[in-house]
Structure 1
Amino acid sequence: MIEQVLTVVAVKGDTAFLQAEPKPACAGCNGKCGSQVFSKLFGTDKKRFPYQFSEPVSVGQKVKLALDDSHIVMSSFVVYIWPLLFALVTAVLAQTVFGVGEGLQIGAAFVAGLAGFILAKHRLKRVVHDVKVIKVYPLSLPLSQRDGD
């Protein structure tokens, strides 16, 4: 299970919009490592996650959600492996069965890899993630409580 604490940023009816706090890649290298460079390049776009709660929540409340990681592993396998397999198998078939030149092999592999990516994306639209609420934190915590658990 992957757990994450999110903050309620908006409420519309029984649907709350949750947002995760951005985590810095690291602080050890003072911004010179690859993780820091990628985070600067792609920005820190904050995504909102809609979730329907059975109990009322308010803006500012913290919520701990859990996601079954078996879906993540299967999804990453589909997204990364299918395009590669499609491209490799097509390149080999193009050379051995059809006897085409290197340029056409590369073109066929590219088209097949793109087709594998499109099929993987289509397959992942049907995946339903099982998100569970672990804990809904109150708005005000006692002073003796240190980490919110």
Structure 2
Amino acid sequence: MIEQTLTVAAIKGATVYLEAEPKPACEGCNGKCGSQVFAKLFGTHKKQFPIELPESSVAVGQKIKLALDDSNVVRHAFYVYMLPLFFAFIAMFFTALVLNLSEPLQIVSAFLSASVGFFLAKMKGDSLKHQVKVIKIYPISLAITQIDGDCTK
């Protein structure tokens, strides 16, 4: 199981919007690596993750621990990374070897087929959010280190 603790950013009806705290990729280079450069270049926009919690009463700022079954992660990674590439190669080879079209038309067909692959990957990826489970809802009055027993005192 992959677990992550997120913070409640907003609540709209039964939908709770969660935000993860940004983590640095590493601390060995003091911000001179490619990860840090891209983070500075593209900003620190926090993405919100919506989840349905109809029976629970949570407040903004409260911490929630979510879990994802890691057995499906590889399959979903295949959909996101390999499916568009696979569609593009099949279309390119089909237009080149079977239809004998010119190179610009091969490129266009590969691009269109990759777009179809991205669309299918997005449809498959939407099923992933239904597999996320709420493990623990922390009380808002205590720090997480006090609850989990990570405190050194």
**TM bin (shorter chain):** 0.7 to 0.9
CA distance in 1, matches of 2:69, 2:140: 27
Taking only aligned residues, the RMSD between alpha carbons, in angstroms, comes to 2.5
Cα-to-partner distance string for 1:30-87 (whole Å, 9 max, x where unaligned): 2111111121222221123333153322233221111223343222211211211111
2:17 paired with 1:17: yes
d(CA) in 1 for partners of 2:106 and 2:12? 53
The CA distance in 1 between the partners of 2:105 and 2:29, in whole Å, is 45
Contact persistence 1:14–1:56 (CA under 8 A): no
| Structure 1 stretches lacking a partner, 5+ long | none
Q: Which runs of 5+ in 2 are unaligned?
A: 149-153
Native 8 Å contact 1:5 1:65 kept in 2: yes
**May I ask how many residue pairs the two structures share in their alignment?**
147
Which whole-Å deviations, capped at 9, do the CAs of 1:68-124 have from their partners, x for residues lacking one? 233432222112112111111111122221222333322322222222222322343
After TM superposition, the score normalised by the length of structure 1 is: 0.79
Q: Is the 8 A contact 1:11 1:59 kept in 2?
A: yes
| TM-score (norm. length: structure 2) | 0.78
- Give me the whole-angstrom Cα distance separating, in 2, the residues matched to 1:76 and 1:14: 29
